[in-house]
Amino acid sequence: MKALLDKHLSFILVPAAIVIVVWAALNYVSGKDWILPGILAAMTIPFATKLMLTVLFTGAPLLMAIAMIYGTPTCVIAAAGYALLGALSMRLARAGNARMLIAGPACMICEAFLYSTAYHFLKPVNLFLAIMAMAFVSYMVTSLVRNAYERWTDRFPLLLNPLLAASCAAFITAFYNPLMPFLAFPVIAVIRYWTGIHENRLRTVPAAASPSGEAHGG
């Protein structure tokens, strides 16, 4: 089962991601404290599922924690590194075409920028609202780019992933110390398990049920 981003959407995501990364590099002020959670996030990539857009879900608790603690520029840089490593992993596994391996990381970078911005915009208003907004924005961005081959009713269960990720990130942030990021791994395991159930269920959907008329299996 492979993600197929719309070609026209890819042309928007890639330049947008480049602009966002340049902006993040120019505004980066966080030093190196975020590197440990970034490395821990990268360690989750081998356990990601075959669907490229779920790679970010797998490391999302740690990337969202980086966003909450260190700000949007640092989150974007961490997400960019994570996404590129994810794309390399997919390339070595021959699990995606060239356009997907470029547009996938671009999508992840844009998603990280948007959910981090939403969180910091709403945090002064209400912390709970900011956490829920982070989860909802993450879900919506991923869902919109999956619209070409997956029905809304099919992907609705994946809302659990960003909700778990954002909640875990908030917990890590509230009680942060150098060992706290390790507590994300049980949540990551649940996200990986839940996404695997979701993908296995989609593999059983008949080809006629796909909006494009193609089977979900890959």
Domain of 48 in residue numbering reads as 7-205
Q: Which comes out higher in pLDDT, residue 31 or 135? A: 135
- Mean of all residue pLDDT scores within the chain: 79
Residue 197 confidence class, pLDDT cut points 50, 70, 90: confident
The pLDDT of 201-217, averaged and rounded, is: 47
Q: pLDDT (tens digit, 9 = 90+) per residue, 125-176? A: 999 999 999 999 998 887 776 655 567 777 788 888 899 999 999 999 998 8
Residue 159 lies in a domain: yes
d(C-alpha 136, C-alpha 162), whole Å: 7
Biggest CA pair distance of the chain: 52
CA 153 remoteness from chain centre? 20
pLDDT value, residue 191: 86
Please check whether residue 129 lies inside any domain of the structure: yes
- Would you tell me how many other CB atoms lie within 10 Å of the CB of residue 48? 22
Query: Is 67 a domain residue?
Result: yes
121 versus 94: the higher-pLDDT residue is: 121
pLDDT at 215: 33
| 188: in domain | yes
Whether 213 is in a domain gets the answer no
Residue with tokens 């997907």: 100
Query: Does residue 105 belong to any structural domain of this protein?
Result: yes
| pLDDT tens digits, 95-110 | 556 667 788 788 889 9
* Domain assignment present for 218: no
Residue 47 lies in a domain: yes
Res. 91: pLDDT tops 80: no
Higher-confidence position of 89 and 106: 106
195 close to 49: Cβ distance less than 8 angstroms: yes
Q: Which of 145, 23, 42, 28 is nearest to 85 (CA)?
A: 42
User: Can you give the pTM of this predicted structure?
Assistant: 0.82
In the predicted structure, residue 208 carries a pLDDT above the cut 80 = no
Under the banding of pLDDT at 50, 70 and 90, the label for residue 25 is very high
User: Is the separation of the CB atoms in 63 and 138 below 8 Å?
Assistant: no
What SS3 class is residue 9?
A: helix
Distances, alpha carbon 86 to alpha carbons 54, 133, 135, 154, 176, in Å: 10, 25, 21, 24, 26
Residue 29, pLDDT > 90, answer no
Beta-carbon count within 10 A of 15 CB:
10
Q: Give the number of C-alpha atoms closer than 13 A to the C-alpha of residue 187, restricted to the C-beta side.
A: 26
Averaged over 192-210, what is the pLDDT? 66
Domain count, the chain: 1
pLDDT (0 to 100) of residue 209 = 45
| Distance, CA of 205 to CA of 210 (rounded, Å) | 8
- Which carries the bigger pLDDT value, residue 86 or residue 7? 86
pLDDT at res. 6: 61
